[in-house]
Structures are given as C-alpha cells and as structure tokens.
Structure 1
Amino acid sequence: MTHLGTGMRRRVHLLAAVAAASTLAALGGCGMVGGNDNGGTPAAGPSAAATPGGDPAAVPSAEAPPAATKIDACTLVTKGEAEKLAGTPLQDPLEKPGDRDTCTYTGPVTGPTAQVEVYVGDGAKKFLDIDRELGHTFTPISGAGDEAYAEDGTVFVNKGGVWACVRLVRTDDPATYRAALENAARTVAGRL
C-alpha cells in the first residue's frame, strides 16, 4: 500500500473540501440545500483576512458578498493565459454541466506535469480558509482587488466580496512561478 506524505494528504483533504463546498454552494443556489430561496446569496458572516505579517486574523464583515454564481471561472483565466502561466501547452478546460465555479486546464498526457485550477465564490474562500487553518504562509499582493494573498503555487483575490483563487501545479520550484501568479491575481481582480 502506498503511503501519502503529510503534505499530500493535506492537499487531498483540501481538494475534497473545496469540491464539497462548491457542490454545496451550487445546490444551495438551486434551493436544494437548507431551503435557501434567495438565489444562493450567502448570509452575512465573519470574513477572515491575513494581517500584513501573514498571520490569519478574523475580521467581521457587515455585508454579504454578492452571489458568485454569475461569474464563470473560465472567463477569469483564459486557456492562453493558463498556458503562459504554466509555461506549457494545456488542454481545453474540463467541462462540468452547471458548474461555473471551477475551471481546470490540464497538461497533455504526454507531459509535462502541469495544471491550472481556477475557483470563484465559496469554493475559493473555503480553499483559503483551509490553508489558513493548516498554517500556510501568505504574502499580501499589491494592486489586486480589495485584498489578495499568495502562497506557494496559489493566489487568492477578493474584490467586492467575491473570492477567486488560481492554483498552479508544476513539479518545479514554486518560486519560479511567483511573479506570474501575482500577475494572474491582478488580471483576475480586473475581471471580477
């Protein structure tokens, strides 16, 4: 039996949580979960933000974020932009009927290993919350929306209460892609 390292297990759990959050958000928007008849607009509640030192801190939010279901994740990062970010050709995004909250561009089966994932809405926020709980180190990104943070291989952007996330999977040193990911965060912020 193959044993996964702690980091890989955390990533697998994180991806499962993001998928679950996206599914629940989609079902809630359809009125199928919790009897929510407000079109999927989340209720107001606490919002977490990182302090300039990168440490997480809870910051209360007085207003509910707008429904993110109107934003198609594949419009936040185009295939050409994803290929530029990854530094390699990628396949067309995986299509999931009714799921506009996620967009995944994968590398060709012949290699190299590459994937660009884009999340928007509750799934993106949940991804950030989980990484904060795991103690990941965040660096603020200037000039990207209302708030934006980078960690190895991933950037998070908040604009107008809507969160988006871009994750790059490559086998190279994540520092190689830091500047490109920060530029992607600024592009995404401009499209939110």
Structure 2
Amino acid sequence: MLNIHTRDRGRTRPGSPSRRRRTALLGAPVAALLVLALQGCQDLATDAGDKASAPAKSAPAGGGGAPGSSKPDGQSSATPSASPTVAPDDACGLVTQLEADQLAGMSLGHGRAIGDTCTYTAPPDGPTGQVEVFAGESGKNYYDAEHTLHPDSLKPLADVGDEAYLAGGEVFLRVGEHWVSIRLVRLEDEAEHAKLLTDLALKVAGRL
C-alpha cells in the first residue's frame, strides 16, 4: 500500500500547476504568431485604405510632354538662331563656297584652308576671280596693315558687327575681339561689289 501511494504522489494530476505551466509555455509561441499575423493584416488594410483615398495624379498638359512643359512631344521651346555660330578662326566656315561664288559672280573652286585663312580661286582656264578670307589673328593683322598703310581708304559701315570698314574690294569687320577680313579679286570696277561685300559682312558678323 505504501508503494502504491508513493507512485500516485509522483504522478502529475490533471489540472496541477506543473501541467498548467507547460501548457502556458507551449501556447506562448502560437499566441505570438497569431499577434504578428493580425498585425500584418491590419497593416495591409491600412495601406489599401491610404492608396484608395490618395488623389489620382493628373497627366501633364501638352499631350504627355515633360512635367511643367506646355509643349507637345517633339516640339522644343527654344527658338533657333538665325545664323549658326562658327569658330572665329574658321575662315572657310565664316564664308561658304556658295557665298564666295555669289560675291565673285562666278563658280570658284573649293575653299583651300591654310591656318585661319581660306581661299576660293576660279579655275585656271576661266576668267580671273578669287575670294580670300582672313579670320582670327590673320584677320586682325590684315586690318592693322590696311589701317597703317591706307587709313584714308577705310570707309566705316554702320550696323555691321561692332566695327566695320569697306575699302575698294575689301571689307573688314570686328565682333567683340574677333576680326575678319575679306578680299575680292576681280578685273572689274570694285564699286560694283560694294553692296555684295557689305551684305556678306553682315552675314559673317551674325556667325561670330
């Protein structure tokens, strides 16, 4: 009888404190998972509610152009310049082949560039004609030489660059610190080409 009672006392009875503690410990991880799952559901519901209540973004005006722009796609708001800018020492760029032909009144050969100068010359089997363009330092040196040797021959031209002069078959112009000198060689009266030289000087000034 003693042994039977002893074994009974060593068993854990249902509802005893030890069994309740083990049940509580085993249930703790499950409860934590349930709390996390419920929290996640609440967060998802909150995010969905925020997105639903947020105002819809309106499309930019102008047919889908860049934000803040009223221009449709494919159109630029910049205004193109009337004359493209050319390097101040690019003599063949400042006076084109077509402009040299128009100035000389004949078809000249392709421009021959040497440093900051460019020469358009008529074919050897035709009439005499040549257009010489001096830009950069050469343009300034040509003007200085003409101003020193023949100062009275220089006639000021109004509204051409910052400074411009006409002298027979030559024209000199300055824009900022850049000088360009153009010389026409023709066996004709130089006065006939004065307007052509002035018009060409205006074009060149717009490219500097």
Unaligned ranges ≥5, structure 2 = 1-85
Extract structure 1 runs of 4+ deviating beyond 2 A.
68-71
- RMSD of aligned C-alpha atoms? 1.6
What residue is the counterpart of 1:74 in the other structure?
92
- The TM-score, its normalising length taken from structure 2, stands at 0.56
What residue is the counterpart of 1:92 in the other structure?
110
What residue is the counterpart of 1:185 in the other structure?
201
Unaligned ranges ≥5, structure 1 = 1-67
Larger Rg: 2
* Contact 2:88/2:178 (<8 A) preserved: no
Q: 2: distance between equivalents of 1:177 and 1:113?
A: 15
Q: What is the CA distance between 1:121 and its match in structure 2?
A: 1.4
SS at match of 2:103: helix
Q: What is the CA distance between 1:142 and its match in structure 2?
A: 1.5
Q: 1:163 to 1:95 in 2, by over 3 A?
A: closer
Q: What is the CA distance between 1:71 and its match in structure 2?
A: 3.2
What residue is the counterpart of 1:151 in the other structure?
167
- Asked if 1:126 corresponds to 2:144, the answer is no
SS at match of 2:111: coil
* Contact 1:115/1:170 (<8 A) preserved: yes
* Contact 1:124/1:165 (<8 A) preserved: yes
Q: 1:70 to 1:157 in 2, by over 3 A?
A: closer
What residue is the counterpart of 1:160 in the other structure?
176
Amino acid at match of 1:165: S
| Greater helix fraction, Structure 1 or Structure 2 | 2
Q: What is the CA distance between 1:144 and its match in structure 2?
A: 1.1
* Contact 2:171/2:197 (<8 A) preserved: yes
- The TM-score, its normalising length taken from structure 1, stands at 0.60
**What are the equivalent positions in structure 2 for 1:161-176 lying under 5 Å apart?**
161-176=177-192
- Asked if 1:103 corresponds to 2:124, the answer is no
| Greater strand fraction, Structure 1 or Structure 2 | 1
Query: Percentage identity across aligned positions?
Result: 44
Structure number with greater CO (CA < 8 Å, separation at least 6) is 1
Paired residues, number: 122
